[in-house]
Structure 1
Amino acid sequence: MATPFGLPARSRPESVAEWKSYIASLEVLMKRLEAQASALYPMKAERSTLAGVKIITLEPPEIPPENAAKMLINMHGGAFILGADNALEALSTAAAARMRVTVVDYRMPPDHPFPAALEDGVAVYRGLLDRYRPASIGIFGASAGGNLACTVVLRLREFGLPLPAAIVVSTPGADLAKFGDSWRTNDGLDRVLTDSVVATDIYANGQDLENPLLSPVYADYSKPFPPALLLTGTRDMLLSSTVRLHRAMRRGGADADLHVFEGMWHGLPTSFDLPEHAEYKELIVRFFARWLASR
């Protein structure tokens, strides 16, 4: 809990070239973590495109009959800039749930700021509707992916499309303006996140940070929204972000549950060796099993 995660310390990138160098240095770490997860959760991983968007389809060795018609969509985390061609956080969920997972390898800054990632998530969901019923589709994401999982659903709602059956949001960046107590109180306690280098500004690209499609904490949840499970920890810098998103959903009348893990930091979805991660996975498995239709 006291050991830093291994992110390189450096001053904030200023130019596009500096951002790309910074991203490249972190992607090496991301790929190493993905390799470790692949060894823990071996399964078929097929890289392809759907609706013009790069995807990774994960298929566990055994899928029970009740899960054959189900599909989970993962909007990966990575501060909006990391996780290209990477299934890191989806592997354990696919293995535990014994469901197929489509990882959206969405476009990212600095070359592709908002709304590119959002558009890619919507396009993949539309493409999956040709093969899966909305009632059998779930969507999940952590960190930036938690933001994107929410905003994809909000965008689908704007388009009048049928919504997925359920959504799981782990430690989301739900307010890009960074309001909330834990941005300050947990800076230095969270072993993954730090406020020294953030990429929300290059993702937002000058847009209003209170736009619900950038910061879903400001969305209207009195309108239709799928049942939601939100997860965070007491040392997570995005604890307040998660709590505020949960309160916004509940105030609007959405069916939303919040679980907070004692002592856990921002890396809950990828801390595979901790007992809390096993409980985290079980919560997600039970949630999707409850809400996703078998046929």
Structure 2
Amino acid sequence: MISTLLWLAAQAMAAPPPDILSAEAKAGLAIDAARPQTARTMAERRAAAEAIQQDIGQRQMRRYGVTMTDGVVAGVPVRIFTPRTMRRGAPVLMNLHGGGFMVDSGSITENVPVAALTGYKVVAARYRLMPETTFPAALDDALAVYRDLVRTHPTRRIGVYGTSAGAVLTAQLAARLKHDRLPLPGALGIFSGSGDLSRPGDSVSLFLDPTALRDLAQAYAAKRELTDPALSPARTSLAGWPPTLCVASSRDYLLSATADLCRKLDEDGSPARFVMFDGLPHAFWSYIEAPESDAAFATMARFLKTALEREKR
């Protein structure tokens, strides 16, 4: 199971990149494919992921003029991103990073551009990981950080978003808040995620063995059934959720899962928008430096600003 994450990443872009991609995107995919896959222990894998985060992230921070500080919120390690200009009383964003629930592969690269383009502070929760912990540890950490933000910000001015495993956690957090009758945030971002871990969707079978993804989900769920609505919110009503942006790409193994969640939101009467980028793999914006990634971040930022700047929910 522990080797699944790297195997998924290697398989998700097995076909040559299409001609429609920019030269920068093609180069970025080649760089990613050439990265050494020699890490064996979990510590080595986490170190490799952190090295990528720092490499790309430092360039992003110079480009966008965003500062990053490490801290602790409600007992949870966080990274806080502050844009160069930020007005008093601005909304705040909370990020739940990707990484297959095992590593941190997004707490910098997913957030620097979003902080800059929105002009909002972003608090990235570095939640507890597998195999040391399983569900609901990561969700409990996300809830703790969110509740701390609620102390200083109206919920209609808080946006929560995540990529991959972080997108799964974002949906689970919304479901947890609704179940516990706590106020939901003003906007959600589900980027290459899923609302139903029991049903990976057809796109998985186009890029990898669906059994591998199911095994990863079951390891995260531990002894719980994957159909449990706490794990798979789309198994219950999504009525009353805030405006939600769902983003995926055509070579994303979670394309189907992301689209299915967005459709379920729409069916249940919650405002949802789905955006798909063409010819790119899973969560490409978090590790590919290209115009397509810039476009993805701009889409995310526009949605969050529109949703959170409204006077009334």
Fold shared, TM-score > 0.5 on shorter chain: yes
Are 1:53 and 2:90 matched, yes or no?
A: no
Distance across 2 between alignment mates of 1:211 and 1:197 = 14
Please give the secondary structure, in 2, of the residue aligned with 1:261: strand
Corresponding position of 1:191: none
User: How far is the alpha carbon of 1:71 from its aligned partner?
Assistant: 0.3
Contact 1:168 1:284 in 2 (8 A): yes
Amino acid across the alignment from 1:150: A
Which among 209, 214, 220 is matched to residue 231 of structure 2? 214
Which deviations, in whole Å up to 9, do the C-alpha atoms of 1:128-155 show, x marking residues without a partner?
1111011111111110111111111111
Contact 1:42 1:60 in 2 (8 A): yes
User: How far is the alpha carbon of 1:25 from its aligned partner?
Assistant: 4.2
Please give the secondary structure, in 1, of the residue aligned with 2:229: coil
Distance across 2 between alignment mates of 1:195 and 1:10 = 20
Decide which moves more: 206-215 or 37-46.
37-46
Are 1:280 and 2:301 matched, yes or no?
A: no
- 102 and 218 in structure 1: CA distance in 2 versus 1, 3 angstrom threshold: same
Decide which moves more: 227-236 or 55-64.
55-64
- 293 and 198 in structure 1: CA distance in 2 versus 1, 3 angstrom threshold: same
Contact 1:232 1:268 in 2 (8 A): no
- Superposition RMSD on alpha carbons, in Å? 2.8
Are 1:134 and 2:155 matched, yes or no?
A: yes
Amino acid across the alignment from 2:303: F
Distance across 2 between alignment mates of 1:277 and 1:262 = 12
Are 1:159 and 2:180 matched, yes or no?
A: yes
- 34 and 60 in structure 1: CA distance in 2 versus 1, 3 angstrom threshold: same
The within-5 A match list for 1:6-45 is 6=33, 9=37, 18-45=41-68
Gaps of 5+ in 2: 1-15, 18-28
Q: TM-score, normalised by structure 2?
A: 0.81
Please give the secondary structure, in 2, of the residue aligned with 1:263: strand
Please give the secondary structure, in 1, of the residue aligned with 2:251: coil
Corresponding position of 1:146: 167
Are 1:259 and 2:275 matched, yes or no?
A: yes
Please give the secondary structure, in 2, of the residue aligned with 1:234: strand
User: How far is the alpha carbon of 1:24 from its aligned partner?
Assistant: 4.2
Amino acid across the alignment from 1:239: L
Corresponding position of 1:269: 285
Contact 2:186 2:242 in 1 (8 A): yes
Which among 226, 231, 256 is matched to residue 247 of structure 2? 231
Corresponding position of 2:221: 204
Which deviations, in whole Å up to 9, do the C-alpha atoms of 1:27-63 show, x marking residues without a partner?
4434433334333333222222221111121111111
Aligned length: 283
